[in-house]
């Protein structure tokens, strides 16, 4: 009698598994924020996308890195992810990112899992000038980084920081923002995601000259620094920096700073505060506009759901 009951339970369990499996395969997943997939968010403005699903290639253009060091793949926030151990990826020119007006406004969205090291800063993603033309790390046009050296390695508090540069006026104009300085909770928000996956977004609105940083769908950067201005020569009145104008050709670096160590022959030697990345990245996307809070929220929700 015990054997009969046992066999019956096994049969019921197997049938249930088949039924559930059948439902999973035949049913579509519900929309999030009115979108069916993350790729439905601002598709006309999506310039580049790295999924890191067992490939280092930028998936829209198929561009492979010219240099890949300290890299492997691990389980990510969505599928597989890039894992770097004191490593970086360097890419040749990606056409969509390399015209003068490729991204007058810009959003970079990515998932990152990283911890503090207590000694140096980590550049997650950068769009740079050509290897021989890039003179210094902050001559642009973009760096999206984490100040992993600003807190002890045991701390889960992360300081996110991003900057941009434009040559609209003929000479370089820079702007940045960070979740620091002033009063926490009023001027900026703490980020306590060290060692766990977090959704990190940098966006710059060239029309309003505003730069904002989001973590897990929430603005965390300093509201006093978001509007970026400069004073033109011969004037005493500050004006908005305005749209980003790129000096092509550009290149992309992931996990490293643009310096001689990473192949930028026109630049400076690596500075003591710069380090190669140790951590993981997933679902890196670059858009030619400042995404809305709804669009950023949708990207966060899709990633959080593993989609």
Q: What pLDDT score does 130 carry? A: 96
What residue segments make up the domains of the chain, in order of their start? 43-304
Instruction: Tell me if 123 sits within 8 A of 286, measured CB to CB.
Output: no
Q: What pLDDT score does 1 carry? A: 41
If one compares 236 and 21, the residue with the highest pLDDT of the two is 236
Q: What pLDDT score does 107 carry? A: 98
Give alpha helix (H) positions in the chain: 2-26, 293-304
Check whether 275 has a pLDDT greater than 60: yes
Residues 94-141 have pLDDT tens digits of 999 999 999 999 999 999 999 999 999 999 999 999 999 999 999 989
Q: What pLDDT score does 21 carry? A: 39
Check whether 281 has a pLDDT greater than 60: yes
HSE toward the beta carbon, residue 271, CA cutoff 13 A: 13
- Separation in Å, CA 36 to CA 21, 282, 299, 304: 21, 19, 11, 15
The pair of three-digit structure tokens given for residue 102, joined into one six-digit string = 């490729």
Q: What pLDDT score does 65 carry? A: 98
pTM above 0.85, yes or no: yes
Residues 48-72 have pLDDT tens digits of 999 999 999 999 999 999 999 999 9
Q: How confident is the model at residue 4 (pLDDT cuts 50, 70, 90)?
A: very low
Q: What is the dihedral of CA 149, 150, 156, 162, to 10 degrees?
A: -90
Mean pLDDT, residues 184-212: 98
**Mean pLDDT of the chain, nearest integer:** 91
Check whether 2 has a pLDDT greater than 60: no
**φ, ψ for residue 50 (rounded to 5)?**
-115, 110
Mean pLDDT, residues 161-175: 91
HSE toward the beta carbon, residue 13, CA cutoff 13 A: 6
Q: Kindly report each contact of residues 163-166 with a partner whose C-beta sits within 8 Å and lies 24 or more positions away, as own/partner.
A: 163/138, 164/106, 164/140, 164/204, 164/211, 164/244, 165/138, 165/139, 165/140, 165/141, 165/244, 166/140, 166/141, 166/241, 166/242, 166/243, 166/244, 166/245, 166/246
Q: What pLDDT score does 303 carry? A: 97
**φ, ψ for residue 232 (rounded to 5)?**
-60, 155
Residues 69-101 have pLDDT tens digits of 999 999 999 999 999 999 999 999 999 999 999
Q: What pLDDT score does 200 carry? A: 98
Q: What pLDDT score does 177 carry? A: 98
What distance lies between CA 63 and its chain's CA centroid? 18
> Is domain 43-304 in CATH 2.60.120.200, yes or no?
yes
Q: How confident is the model at residue 19 (pLDDT cuts 50, 70, 90)?
A: very low
Instruction: Tell me if 281 sits within 8 A of 81, measured CB to CB.
Output: yes
Q: What pLDDT score does 168 carry? A: 82
Q: What percent of the chain has pLDDT over 70?
A: 91
Check whether 255 has a pLDDT greater than 50: yes
């Amino acid at each position: 009698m015990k054997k009969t009951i046992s066999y019956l339970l096994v049969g019921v369990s197997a049938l249930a598994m088949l039924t559930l499996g059948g439902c999973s395969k035949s049913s579509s997943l519900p929309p999030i924020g009115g979108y069916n997939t993350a790729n439905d968010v601002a598709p006309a403005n999506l310039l580049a996308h790295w999924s890191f699903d067992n490939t280092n290639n930028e998936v829209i253009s198929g561009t492979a890195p010219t240099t890949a060091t300290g890299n492997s793949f691990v389980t990510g926030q969505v599928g597989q992810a890039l894992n770097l151990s004191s490593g970086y990826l360097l890419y040749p020119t990606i056409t969509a990112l390399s015209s003068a007006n490729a991204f007058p406004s810009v959003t970079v969205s990515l998932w990152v899992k990283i911890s503090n090291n207590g000694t140096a800063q980590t550049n997650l993603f950068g769009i740079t000038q050509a290897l021989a033309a890039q003179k210094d790390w902050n001559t642009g046009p973009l760096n999206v980084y984490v100040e992993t050296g600003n807190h002890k390695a045991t701390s889960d508090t992360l300081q996110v920081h991003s900057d941009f540069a434009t040559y609209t006026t003929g000479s370089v104009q820079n702007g940045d923002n960070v979740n620091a300085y002033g009063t926490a909770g009023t001027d900026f928000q703490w980020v306590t995601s060290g060692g766990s996956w977090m959704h990190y977004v940098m966006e710059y609105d060239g029309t309003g000259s505003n730069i904002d940083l989001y973590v897990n769908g929430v603005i965390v950067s300093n509201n006093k620094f978001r509007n970026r201005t400069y004073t033109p020569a011969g004037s005493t009145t500050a004006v908005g920096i305005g749209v980003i104008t790129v000096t092509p050709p550009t290149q992309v670096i992931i996990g490293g700073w643009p310096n001689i160590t990473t192949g930028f022959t026109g630049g400076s030697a690596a500075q003591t505060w710069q380090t190669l990345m140790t951590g993981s990245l997933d679902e890196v996307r670059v858009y030619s506009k400042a995404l809305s809070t709804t669009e950023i929220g949708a990207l966060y929700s899709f990633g959080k759901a593993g989609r």
